[in-house]
Structure 1
Amino acid sequence: MNPLINDHLRETRNTLVKEIELLSDRQLNDKPDLKSWSIAQICHHLALVEESSVKAIAWGLNQEDSKQTERKNVHLIVDRTKKMTAPKIVEPAEDLFTVQQIIEMLNDSRKKLTTFLDTIEDKSILAEKSVKHPALGELPLDQWVEQIYLHEQRHIVQILEIKMCFEVEH
């Protein structure tokens, strides 16, 4: 894998964990309003997206007819002015979570991603095959990996906005 993408994955995840690790479980699970997700749900969604991305990449690698497609501007995913609806498969649970559960969930999904990527001997194949992404359309597999940390960055901004609401309330 591109070392820069590995760095971005690591740095973004470290930023995410720093933003949530000192929250109380109540802060983690409080919703800013009835239509919004809690920070716990955002993190659950991120873990689900990471796991489903691994499945999509694996599926794309196994497709004989998967072909190279044009590269997309995956950085568009960071733009929070563009509202996106999460596909059902990556919608978070309504459950209450502890901070520790969420961190373990994030660690588990990242371990699945890195373990999977380590099994790919020739990483260049990731640029040669593609799979349809729910928000971005047909996407090269290496850009599926890239969108994981960009998507996380998008939601870190959302988490910061929610944390600002806590500060205003108290």
Structure 2
Amino acid sequence: MSLKDKLDQNTEALLSKIDKITDDQFHSNPDEVTWTPAQVLEHLYRSEFGVPKLFTGETKVESDRDSETIVEKMRVQFLDINKRLKAKGVILPGNEKRSKEELTSNFRSLREKITAMADQYEGSEVCTSFEHPIYGYLTREEWIHFNIYHTERHMSQIDRILARL
């Protein structure tokens, strides 16, 4: 399966999960420190909002880059739900109550844009206009892997939230 197909499948899995959540559940959390499913979706959107700009920004070629190791590190770190990761800054969700329709539409549109751009640009070039806080500068393909694993992590989080409601 191509990376683009994996991204599409990941998008559909998340939005299918969100679609099955009632509006009450979408805006509910089991305690004061846990995000609502709405806030999780907003966080995912905020985390990926700058990706199209990265894809069109400055890049460089690193012929000796070991992308497989970087992607495997992401996979291991993001899919370990026992390890707590802390979001900060612009990727934090707000407290404004947004509708499920608005948030899912925004996320779907952004993912469609990223998917289309995956075909337009060389995936192995390193994007140099923003350094990921954990992994440093990433290639376009590594950013897509990040989006997938980050989303998988948060789909698991949504399941845990719903189980506690």
Whether the 8 Å CA contact 2:4–2:118 is kept in 1: the answer is no
Contact 2:55 2:117 in 1 (8 A): no
Q: Percent identity?
A: 22
After superposition, where does 1:111-130 map in structure 2 within 5 Å?
Answer: 111-120=112-121, 123=122, 126-130=123-127
Q: How does 1:4-153 map to 2 (within 5 A)?
A: 4-59=2-57, 62-63=58-59, 66-68=60-62, 69-71=65-67, 72=70, 73=72, 74-75=74-75, 76-120=77-121, 123=122, 126-131=123-128, 132-153=131-152
Q: Give 1:130 deviation, angstroms.
A: 4.4
AA aligned opposite 2:38 = A
Cα displacement string for residues 124-154 of structure 1 (whole angstroms, at most 9, x for unaligned residues): xx32424421222333331111111111000
How many residue pairs were aligned?
156
Aligned partner of residue 49 in structure 2, secondary structure: helix
Q: Counterpart of 1:133 in 2: which secondary structure? A: coil
Scaled by the length of structure 2, the TM-score of the pair is 0.83
SS in 2 for 1:55: helix
Alignment correspondent of 1:160: 159
RMSD (Å), alpha carbons: 1.9
Q: In the superposition, relative to structure 1, how do residues 24 and 151 fare at CA in structure 2: closer, same or farther (>3 Å)?
A: same
Gaps of 5+ in 2: none
